[in-house]
Amino acid sequence: MSTDTPASSDFRSKFLFEDLAIRGEIVRLEATVAEVLGKHDYPTQLQALLGEALVAAALLTGTLKFEGLLILQAKGEGPLNLLMAECSNGGQLRAIARWDGTLPDEPLANLLGGGMSHLAITIDPANGQRYQGIVPLDGLSLAECIEHYFAQSEQLGTRLWLVTGGGRAAGILLQELPEAGGARRDADAWNRVCRLTDTLTAQELLGLPTETVLNRLYHQEDVRLFDAEPLAFACSCSDARTRNALRSLGATELRSILDEQGQIDITCEFCNQRRTYTPADLPDLL
């Protein structure tokens, strides 16, 4: 097993079972969680869900080879309207949640409105066609809902463990690989590795070095650990993108808003960056 020495508190480490058709990832976030939670006054329950969503987005992005964004969204018509996290192929993360009133102590699907809720995973490549998979939200936790998504949409054995605590969020993902040569001769491999991972505590996943976690869980398996990849909060909003969005309103609508309000204020939901446009900006906007 190689040495994993992440340069920051936020990283993703991939690993592979050499003799089994199984791959995995571990993600740990601290600074990113602090950035996201510092943008809004989120209830305690949502703070944990946002941490889990950030970790899940980072884990899922790590299973892909592409340039672009992976967007994880849980939507419904309950007191929690939206839980959303994005991760780029370069490890840039951001997340938001929208809610109304006081949130009851209920599972995620109930917070989103039960049968009206759904989970969507969108792949938005820099070049190529956008793809979105949507399934009903089925599960008590975000991890269970994502596992159901893979079972329904991808038919690919996938397990996730997501935890939060002490200002940190962490997770581990296991995924079956297509059969390759003798890698699947161990018929019990998937169930065995999942059972071993079930023994991992939240404290271990949040606090122990990656090598230690893997050694404790899989000391009887041949596991290859790859170099850690840094992760960080970053928002993709910009003045140019905001101006393009305003241009799409059309000249008549823009003039009407500026005549009525004197200026247009746009605040990014993700990073709280506020941009102001006045009548002096109208020629450029048009």
pLDDT band at 199 (very low <50, low <70, confident <90, very high): very high
How far apart (Å, rounded) are the C-alpha atoms in residues 52 and 47? 9
pLDDT > 60? residue 47: yes
User: Residue 34, SS3?
Assistant: helix
Number of Cβ atoms within 10 Å of the Cβ of 62 = 24
DSSP characters over 111-149: HTTGGG-EEEEEEEESSS--EEEEEE--SSSHHHHHHHH
Q: How far apart are CA 282 and CA 147, in angstroms?
A: 48
Q: For residues 277 and 281, what is the distance between their CA atoms, to the nearest angstrom?
A: 6
> CA 96 to CA 236: how far, in whole Å?
13
Q: Are 134 and 120 in contact (CB under 8 A)?
A: yes
Q: What is the mean pLDDT of residues 72-80?
A: 93
Task: Specify the range with the lowest mean pLDDT, choosing from 28-42, 142-156, 216-230.
Answer: 142-156
Q: Which domains does the chain have, with CATH numbers?
A: 11-233 (3.55.30.10), 239-285 (3.90.1280.10)
Helices first, then strands: H and E counts in the chain: 10, 14
- Is residue 206 within 8 A of residue 168, CB to CB? The reply is yes
Say which amino acid occupies 156: L
> Mean pLDDT across the chain, nearest whole number?
90
Q: Which long-range contacts (CB under 8 A, 24 or more apart) does 41-47 make?
A: 42/97, 43/99, 43/102, 43/103, 45/103, 45/105, 45/111, 46/80, 46/83, 46/97, 46/99, 46/103, 47/164
Secondary structure class of 68 (helix, strand, coil): strand
> Which of the residue ranges 42-51, 152-161, 183-192, 264-273 would you say has the lowest mean pLDDT?
183-192
Residue 183, pLDDT > 50, answer: no
- The pLDDT assigned to 267 comes to 85
| Of 49, 93, 88, residue with least CA distance to 69 | 88
pLDDT of residue 271: 85
Find the mean pLDDT for residues 186-202. 93
Neighbours of 84 (CB within 10 A): 20
Q: pLDDT band at 171, cuts 50/70/90?
A: very high
Q: How confident is the model at residue 60 (pLDDT cuts 50, 70, 90)?
A: very high
Q: Between 285 and 111, name the one with better pLDDT.
A: 111
Q: Is the pLDDT of residue 8 over 80?
A: no
Q: What is the number of other CB atoms lying within 10 angstroms of the CB of residue 65?
A: 6
Q: How many residues does the chain have?
A: 286
Instruction: Kindly report, residue by residue over 264-284, the tens digit of the pLDDT.
Output: 888 888 888 888 888 888 888
What is the mean predicted confidence (pLDDT) over 126-134? Answer: 91
pLDDT at residue 139, as a whole number: 85
What's residue 182's pLDDT?
47
Q: Among all chains, which residue has been given the structure tokens 């038919």?
A: 155
* Distance linking the first and last C-alpha atoms of the chain: 58
List phi, psi (to 5°) of 255: -60, -40
pLDDT interval class at 192 (50, 70, 90): very high
Q: Please tell me the predicted confidence (pLDDT) of residue 247.
A: 85
- Confidence (pLDDT) at 6: 56
